[in-house]
């Protein structure tokens, strides 16, 4: 049993744990009582979660406002590298605005390269997307799979989000590390509306050939940033390893690919990466499909 749980069981919950609980539930009165009793604004629970992260993820705007008034560290990350803004981006524009006003970084990235804009795009949170872009979020930023916010919006079937990103200058022909464009990924996922929207905007309806000559195909970091042209070492390693697995998969027959895809074992300590096997009835990974190794539980 973790030490904090043991202490809580023996002596009752601490003010810190009460603060985290009330931030999660949005209990403003309880939250204020915990703060008045001396709870630490920056205390971390399991997984490195802070009260501000918990309130942001739940979309409790009032709780986020109360916590921010105390001056917490808005850039703190959990064990997966996510911060409060990344969590708020999937839920509530008011929390996003509060965090940005408090100094949260619009272009922050977690351990596998996800940004607040990618999170908002994948959940179709158009208001939060527009605000993030207005505050300087890079529409061309990529995660460890080389995917952009546009790709996630397209794959998840959010046409309004796709439109916002196109109008913001997103590259409709960008390739992920497996050589797929946003329109190709949308088509593969059965998202006909977003695929057609991209094609109408000028994207090719065909699956492009993979750019084998570039170890980080199409990588675009934050403009002017340290990693604008090349990803950080830890993300670069993930991208390179993924490409090695993909080359191996593509050299096999359809049946062999499916078997290999489902049997891959990953080091659980490497960003806690896990291989996910997606099975559908009678699924076969043919030469025309991309067997992409998933690097997280997303």
pLDDT tens digits for range 156-185? 999 999 999 999 999 999 998 888 899 988
Cβ–Cβ < 8 Å for 95, 131: no
Q: What is the pLDDT of residue 124?
A: 96
Residues of the chain with pLDDT under 50: 1-12, 209-213, 254, 257-258, 261-298
> What Cα–Cα distance (Å) separates residue 58 from each residue in 64, 90, 148, 185?
10, 10, 25, 30
Structure tokens at 151: 């790709």
How far is it, in rounded angstroms, from Cα 240 to Cα 60? 39
Model confidence pLDDT, tens digit, residues 33-89: 998 888 898 988 888 999 999 999 999 999 999 999 999 999 999 998 999 999 999
User: Which pLDDT score, from 0 to 100, does residue 205 have?
Assistant: 74
Those residues with Cβ within 8 angstroms of residue 118's Cβ, 6 or more apart along the chain or in another chain: 141, 143, 147, 148, 149, 152
pLDDT value of position 108:
95
Measured over the CA atoms of residue 118, residue 119, residue 123 and residue 128, the dihedral's sign is negative
Query: What does the pLDDT read at residue 273?
Result: 33
- Domain 1-105 belongs to what topology? 1.25.40
Q: What is the pLDDT of residue 224?
A: 61
For every residue of 135-194, which 3-state class applies, written as one string? CCCCCCCCCCCCCCHHHHHHHCCCHHHHHHHHHCCCCCCCCCCCCCCHHHHHHHCCCHHH
The confidence score (pLDDT) of residue 265 equals: 34
CB-based contacts of 192: which residues, under 8 Å, 6+ apart? 186
Contact 66, 31 (CB under 8 A): yes
């Amino acid at each position: 049993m973790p030490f904090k749980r043991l202490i809580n069981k023996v002596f009752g919950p601490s003010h810190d744990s009460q603060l985290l609980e009330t931030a999660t539930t949005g209990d403003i009165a309880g939250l204020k009582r915990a703060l008045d009793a001396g709870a630490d604004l920056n205390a971390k629970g399991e997984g490195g979660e802070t009260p501000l992260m918990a309130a942001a993820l739940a979309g409790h705007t009032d709780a986020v406002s109360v916590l921010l008034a105390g001056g917490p560290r808005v850039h703190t990350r959990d064990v997966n590298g996510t911060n409060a803004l990344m969590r708020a981006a999937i839920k509530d524009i008011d929390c996003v605005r509060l965090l940005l006003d408090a100094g949260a970084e619009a272009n922050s990235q977690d351990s596998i390269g996800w940004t607040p804009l990618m999170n908002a795009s994948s959940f179709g949170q158009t208001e939060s997307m527009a605000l993030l872009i207005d505050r300087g979020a890079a529409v061309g930023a990529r995660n460890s799979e080389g995917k952009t916010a546009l790709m996630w919006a397209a794959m998840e079937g959010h046409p309004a989000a796709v439109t916002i990103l196109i109008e913001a200058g997103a590259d409709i022909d960008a390739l992920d590390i497996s050589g797929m464009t946003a329109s190709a990924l949308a088509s593969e996922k059965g998202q006909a509306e977003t695929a057609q929207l991209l094609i109408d905007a000028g994207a090719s309806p065909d699956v492009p050939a993979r750019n084998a000559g570039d170890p980080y195909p199409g990588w675009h970091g934050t403009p002017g940033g340290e990693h604008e042209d090349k990803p950080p070492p830890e993300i670069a390693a993930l991208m390179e390893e993924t490409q090695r697995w993909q080359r191996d998969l593509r050299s096999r027959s359809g049946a062999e690919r499916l078997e290999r895809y489902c049997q891959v074992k990953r080091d659980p300590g490497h960003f806690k990466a896990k291989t996910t096997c997606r099975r559908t009835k009678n699924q076969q990974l043919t030469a025309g499909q991309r067997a992409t190794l998933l690097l997280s539980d997303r």
